Amino acid sequence: MDKKITIESIEREAAVMRRHVIEMGYAAGGRGAHFGPALSSIEIVASLFFKVMNHNPLEPTMTERDRFIQSKGHACLSYYAALVETGYITKDQMYTFKGDGSFLSGHPSRNMRYGIEISSGSLGNGFAIAGGMAKAAKIKKEKHKVYCLVGDGECNEGIIWEAAMNGAKSKLDNLIAIVDRNGVQLAGKTKDIMDVDLEALWKAVGWEVLIVKEGNDTASILKALEKMKNSQSGKPHVIIANTTKGKGVSFMEDSISWHARPLNKEDYEQAVSELENA
């Protein structure tokens, strides 16, 4: 993307993306949506699509494009919002989210025409696929990067660590994982369900690790992404970003109940009001 993009312009895009998340989720009606994990990852996804990654909506299959893999597929609304704002999909298409016949399903379904690299949703599988893509790029001597968004609850999955060990063994320094550590998963707080030291685990399997204390601060997440993008450590890289579940909407923030559910008219209006006045 345009190298002249500033932190302020990314923040403006992130604000628009948050509104898109609410609009799409509301359009889904009784089918509901995963609001919490989408809103927590907005700054991460916005920084990737508007500054860090090499991609072109006019050439969605170009060989040299960087790959974005959303392993935490339930948070697809942040992904779709970025695809709207970068021009892969239209606003009219956006409002078909979860509708009959729509290509915008509740988890990403591979559609290269619209910038969706893989089908994901089975937790951990997207990360393993990202590792395979990075390894293929090494074999073919291609220079692009692979960026993979992972959930902190998703890190309970064994496949994450199998793939991580393989990535270290294969020296996949073209692979950058970002853990959206918002502290809440489907059934409760992550610390109550599986209280582990993620930093120690990633280091133990041979990855370069960077902690971002404020993962919803654009400047902080962008600095971390650029540092890992340019790292010469020879290792695969992981950024553990501390974020807020449901960031930007007061009644959704840090809430288990807003991990996934329908949005009624009253809540929709309050969410829109808060975002417009932020």
In the chain, what are the domain boundaries? 7-276
| Nearest by Cα to 214 from 250, 242, 239, 184 | 242
Q: In 64-110, which residue ranges form alpha helices assigned H by DSSP?
A: 76-86, 91-94
184 phi and psi angles, rounded to 5 deg: -135, 135
Above 90 in pLDDT, residue 1? no
| pLDDT tens readout for residues 105-158 | 999 999 999 999 999 999 999 999 999 999 999 999 999 999 999 999 999 999
Of the chain, the percentage scoring pLDDT greater than 70 comes to: 99
Cβ neighbour number for residue 261 with a 10 Å cutoff = 17
CA distance 89 to 83: 6
Q: Tell me the residue length of the chain.
A: 278
| Nearest by Cα to 273 from 265, 37, 253 | 265
Average pLDDT over residues 46-60: 97
CB-side neighbour CA atoms (13 Å) of 131? 24
Amino acid letter at 189?
K
CA distance 164 to 170: 10
In three-state secondary structure terms, 116 is strand
| pLDDT tens readout for residues 258-273 | 999 999 999 999 999 9
Of the chain, the percentage scoring pLDDT greater than 90 comes to: 96
CB-side neighbour CA atoms (13 Å) of 87? 8
How far CA 230 is from CA of 1, 33, 63, in Å, comes to 16, 35, 20
How far CA 247 is from CA of 53, 184, 255, in Å, comes to 23, 12, 10
CA distance 155 to 270: 33
Question: Are the CB atoms for 14 and 42 separated by under 8 Å?
Answer: yes
| pLDDT tens readout for residues 181-232 | 999 998 899 999 998 999 999 999 999 999 999 999 999 999 999 999 999 9
Residue 187: per-residue pLDDT: 87
For tokens 């996949």, what's the residue? 172
In three-state secondary structure terms, 65 is coil
Residue 112: per-residue pLDDT: 97
Q: For the domain with range 7-276, which CATH number is right: 3.50.50.60, 3.40.50.970, 3.90.1150.10, 3.40.630.30?
A: 3.40.50.970
Structure tokens given for 157: 């999955």
Question: At 3, is the pLDDT very low, low, confident or very high (cuts 50, 70, 90)?
Answer: low
In three-state secondary structure terms, 165 is helix
The per-residue pLDDT of the chain, averaged, comes to 96
Above 90 in pLDDT, residue 2? no
Residue 4: per-residue pLDDT: 80
Q: Which positions ≥6 away from 43 have C-beta within 8 Å?
A: 10, 14, 215, 216, 217, 218, 221, 243
Above 80 in pLDDT, residue 250? yes
Above 90 in pLDDT, residue 278? no
CA distance 258 to 250: 11
Residue 5: per-residue pLDDT: 87
